[in-house]
Structure 1
Amino acid sequence: MPTRSQLLYTFLSLLTVVLGLASRRYGGELPGWVVAYAGDALWALLVFWLLGWCQPRQPGRWVASWALLVAFGVEFSQLFHPPWLDTLRHTTLGGLVLGRGFLWSDLLCYTLGVAVGAGLEQLWAGRGKAPGF
């Protein structure tokens, strides 16, 4: 079974971070739906790339499943508001990583983001570049 290139996944992760930050920074110049949803989809895609980087030999199905579990877990954690966690969420990095408030629509965005990563891997797997499903 082919293995994921950690160099490629590092690049994909950095590109995803740049796109996600740009979707926030240039939100006034983008359509409203992009501003509302792209950041969440890109966040989940980043989780997918990072798990693929950490587990280069795991099948894509494994990476996608764990990426969704992590993303959904973080989203559902936003239903809980202990003071220490809210303090962390109100920092810039904490807000970007942990979010601030639960939204059902974020679950759909996360699913879409992971699906994009998994779909790209399936395309690459057909070319012998990444572990298949």
Structure 2
Amino acid sequence: MTLVFEPNMVCSDCLRLLPDLNERLRERFGVHGPGSAEGLPCIGCGFNEQTPDMAQVVDCPHCAEELAFAQDDFPRQGVFLSCPGCGRSVRIPPTVWCPDCGLNFRGQGIDDLVREANARGR
């Protein structure tokens, strides 16, 4: 069984479940039954299916120059890019992929993942 948390069940600021979640779920289950996650957007990336032509822009962890990479050209195991600003190698880790569906880049936190991946190698 899959539980689907609707936007009104999660705090939009901190992304934590709201305190009255049990009551909301009980009410929804009583009216609609268990429901289905089919057709709903992925909670990790926000898309229903693989989204072609998606691009991501991150700051170089060495000089803050912007680096862009396309999802269609991005290998699942990660990649190293050369920064156009400072010329240093920047590791883009495989964790930038959505951990829930694995079809798209994750919805948020990619800049942090790139910074962490490059801080470990120093």
Q: TM-score, normalised by structure 1?
A: 0.25
Which structure is richer in relative contact order (CA contacts within 8 A, separation 6 or more)? 1
Higher helix share: 1
